[in-house]
Structure 1
Amino acid sequence: MSRLALSDTDKQARDWFADTTKSLGCKVIVDAMGNQFAIREGLKEGPPTVAGSHLDTQPTGGRYDGILGVTAGIEMLRTLHNNSITTTFPVGVVNWTNEEGARFPISMVSSGVWAGSIPLSHAHDLKEVGTGSATMKSELERIGYLGDKDCSFEAVPLAAHFELHIEQGPILEAENRKVGIVQGVQAYKWFTVSVRGADCHTGTTSFSHRADALLVASKMIVYSHRAAARKGALASTGILTLKPGSTNTVPGSVDFSLDIRSPDNHIVSEVEADCKTAFAKIAAGEDVEGLNTDFVASSKSCSVDWKLDTDSPATKFHPECISCVEDAAKSIFGGETQALTKPMTSGAGHDSVYTSKRCPTTMIFVPSRDGVSHNPVEFTKPEDCAMGAQVLMQAVLRYDRKRAEGKV
């Protein structure tokens, strides 16, 4: 499954989301970022307690990442509807736009706008990755999802946000556990690193006279791995763009993404600082940690510039929401709760990072086979999906009851 944000297939999924939730008695609100809020009335008025996630995917697919959280939320609405259950306060489901950041390169961008952390104009002006010229705003208009509601926590307030998600890692499966009770999300920063050298002919320019931007960028990427490993952090490059893109021309321009992650904010900052110092030396042609071994020294050098694309500090989720998930798990697993559940920190970013800035939030994980995600073989057993959906619904209903009792 490949469903990039604001594509034609994304429109189909959005239309299905709207039609399905309306048939279950919900009002659907669409904001200026295309976020869809399906809200079911309660006995009392107030902001809804919601289950939220996303329906867009990475280019290489994944049938569960994000999608499970939305479809399980809809199943919650269907269960309430079919059994004529009315909650004290409104409940609902949210489909957040472009969570993946795969087509428009800021992840969780629309929940970020909703939280007031990302300017709407900046999000609307984001251009799609690659050679296309589409922007988020132009594609929202094209598929008919540029909503007339302001994208903000003030215009569409939420009482609490619960997100069911696949783990995207191997821990739950390896330990034979069924539910991860997520305590927070690790810190990460995304950068675009730009290396500039000089285009030249591959056959007539010797190594000693080249400013090979791709060769320099390759050394930087290797160094980023070393720098992160030293600190117990993670670093990855997922996008590489070079010019002019000809077999017999040495690239003079390279842009690459750099993703740095750690549970600790200061570790991310330390790896960033380390890389910035080293990258400047590598661009100048200096030998950093033996990266020039067996390479021909050049009289030419390159330049390097950094642009911060996303800064997501470590997130701690709300204790009352976590308590609702814990109680839901206990009601299902009983005496096996400790063996079948696990407190966890998410290694990946999610829309819950931004919702946590404006309303009580937590997440629920279910196992991923072999820990694989962002891949066509991504899989979670049907019974594990069902278990996660059960915990999600109970957690939402327990939070609604706490609201009714004035405990939150």
Structure 2
Amino acid sequence: MTDAPLINPDRLWKRLMDMARIGAIPGDGVNRQSLSAEDRAAMACLIGWGRAIGLTPAFDRAGNLFLTMAGTTGGAPVLIGSHLDSQPTGGRFDGVYGVLAAFEALETLHEAGITPPRPITLVAWMNEEGSRFAPGMMGSEVFAGVRTLDQIRAVTDAEGISVGAELDVLAESFAGIAVQEPGFALHAYLEPHIEQADHLEATANVIGAVTGIQGKKTFEVTILGQEAHAGTEPMARRRDAVQAFARVALAMQEAALAAGEDIRFTIGRVEVLPNAPSVVPARVRFRIDLRHPENAVLDATATAIEAACDQAAPCEVQIRPMVDAPANAFAAPLRAAIRDSAKSHGFPATDLLSAAGHDARHMAPLAPSAMIFVPCRGGLSHHPDEWADPAHLAAGAQVLLDVCLRAAATPDQGDLS
């Protein structure tokens, strides 16, 4: 490993707690949804910290924030970070830990007077969570060319406010900061994160070298029936969207379970119209989240789930695909570097797959990429009780510093893949 300096665990913890005050809710939770006033306040805080140590801020037109430490020789940067936005009742570590671990790595280099051979850029991706604007990972998808800027700008939240309108507010709020087009060449990408599962905790490991991210598909399904009087319309003549939904949901569940124990299938955000007690429901709209580590199984199960919509007759069914993200693998040399760093510091480490989606998924096709996981208590995340041990968070930040400094010293990207 490189002779990297040691990070400051107390400073990292303090910054995490300081950032958790922005959008704080009762019970140690955080509500800092994408492109909200709270999200902008978190960005402003991060930019201020960055300027104090000489980092150069920039946004792209998709709302992604970058803070760059210049290198001695230039070239494509090593990109490190995660996201600042949270779920409406989120915790203090999901996403923001990756951003502040990256910041601690850069602050440690600044404090030690070390200039990396090539630039190291911290990123805070726009709308990873997808709680306010769906789908999630918008910023990284635009950066990677998976979606267009026009596509995401047109998306609206539950109040009818568009991503485009909020991006315009963001630009006005940070008018003095350079804005660039989304996307640029990368040397490597590294993202630290809490595991959001309990494998590390259960196996007494502190560092996870993530092998890849399981594939994910999401759909929005609308079942269209016919409103009628609940007291007068005969049962045989009804086109009851809720009854059709019940049949479809059961058939979808059975199709998913047939794929084996590794499948993850969820129906969420169910909306019923007119949702009145004496009216036969005319419309049900719901979201499907489907995940599996093998793309062939994921594709086959998606086909079977769509076929389950035949159970909705006599109602009409409309299916709108939203996310189609195949499973991916991370760069073996970077994973080996993560394990080497952990071993050199005495941190127990293991390989593991990410069941949750992350922005790293979209960086993997662009450059050698990897993720560093640290444990979270009970695997609980997206909840105010989300918790990670300060020593484990510090360990992940140290491994990040070691590996990103090593990557920044590697002249040929091929050596990292």
TM-score by structure 2 length?
0.88
2:354 to 320, 339, 346: 346
Q: Could you report, residue by residue, the CA deviation over 1:140-198 in whole angstroms, capped at 9, with x for unpaired residues?
A: 11233688744432xx3221110001111111111111111101111110100111011
In the other structure, the counterpart of 2:26 is none
In the other structure, the counterpart of 1:215 is 243
Seen in structure 2, the aligned counterparts of structure 1 residues 258 and 149 have a Cα distance that, compared at 3 Å, is same
**Secondary structure at 1:161's aligned position in 2?**
strand
Tell whether the 8 Å contact from 2:255 to 2:308 is kept in structure 1 after alignment. Answer: no
In the other structure, the counterpart of 1:306 is 319
Q: What is the 5 A alignment of 1:1-400?
A: 1-128=30-157, 130=158, 132-144=159-171, 149-153=179-183, 156-232=184-260, 233-280=263-310, 282-284=311-313, 301-333=314-346, 340-400=348-408
Q: Please report how far the alpha carbon of residue 210 of structure 1 lies from its aligned counterpart in structure 2 after TM superposition.
A: 2.3
- 1:271 counterpart letter in structure 2: T
In the other structure, the counterpart of 1:294 is none
Tell whether the 8 Å contact from 1:113 to 1:151 is kept in structure 2 after alignment. Answer: no
Q: Equivalents in 1 of 2:212, 2:415: separation in Å?
A: 22
- 2:333 counterpart letter in structure 1: E
Q: Please report how far the alpha carbon of residue 346 of structure 1 lies from its aligned counterpart in structure 2 after TM superposition.
A: 0.7
Tell whether the 8 Å contact from 1:191 to 1:257 is kept in structure 2 after alignment. Answer: yes
Q: Equivalents in 1 of 2:185, 2:268: separation in Å?
A: 34
Number of equivalenced pairs: 382
Q: Equivalents in 2 of 1:187, 1:317: separation in Å?
A: 13
Q: Please report how far the alpha carbon of residue 311 of structure 1 lies from its aligned counterpart in structure 2 after TM superposition.
A: 0.5
Q: Equivalents in 1 of 2:413, 2:60: separation in Å?
A: 31
Q: Could you report, residue by residue, the CA deviation over 1:296-343 in whole angstroms, capped at 9, with x for unpaired residues?
A: xxxxx211111110100011111222222122112112xxx6xx2111
Query: Matched residues, percent identical?
Result: 34
In the other structure, the counterpart of 1:293 is none
Q: Equivalents in 1 of 2:142, 2:414: separation in Å?
A: 30
Q: Equivalents in 1 of 2:271, 2:61: separation in Å?
A: 30
**Secondary structure at 1:383's aligned position in 2?**
helix
TM-score by structure 1 length?
0.89
Q: Equivalents in 2 of 1:94, 1:195: separation in Å?
A: 40
Tell whether the 8 Å contact from 1:99 to 1:107 is kept in structure 2 after alignment. Answer: yes
Q: Please report how far the alpha carbon of residue 102 of structure 1 lies from its aligned counterpart in structure 2 after TM superposition.
A: 1.2
Q: Equivalents in 1 of 2:253, 2:153: separation in Å?
A: 33
Seen in structure 2, the aligned counterparts of structure 1 residues 151 and 263 have a Cα distance that, compared at 3 Å, is farther
**Secondary structure at 2:43's aligned position in 1?**
helix
Q: Equivalents in 2 of 1:270, 1:117: separation in Å?
A: 23
Q: Equivalents in 1 of 2:413, 2:339: separation in Å?
A: 19
Seen in structure 2, the aligned counterparts of structure 1 residues 22 and 179 have a Cα distance that, compared at 3 Å, is same
Backbone CA RMSD of aligned residues: 1.8
Q: Equivalents in 1 of 2:220, 2:90: separation in Å?
A: 23
Of the structure 1 ranges 157-166 and 221-230, higher mean CA displacement relative to structure 2 is found in 221-230
Q: Equivalents in 2 of 1:93, 1:190: separation in Å?
A: 29
Q: Equivalents in 1 of 2:283, 2:113: separation in Å?
A: 61
Q: Please report how far the alpha carbon of residue 404 of structure 1 lies from its aligned counterpart in structure 2 after TM superposition.
A: 8.2
- 1:400 counterpart letter in structure 2: A
In the other structure, the counterpart of 1:298 is none
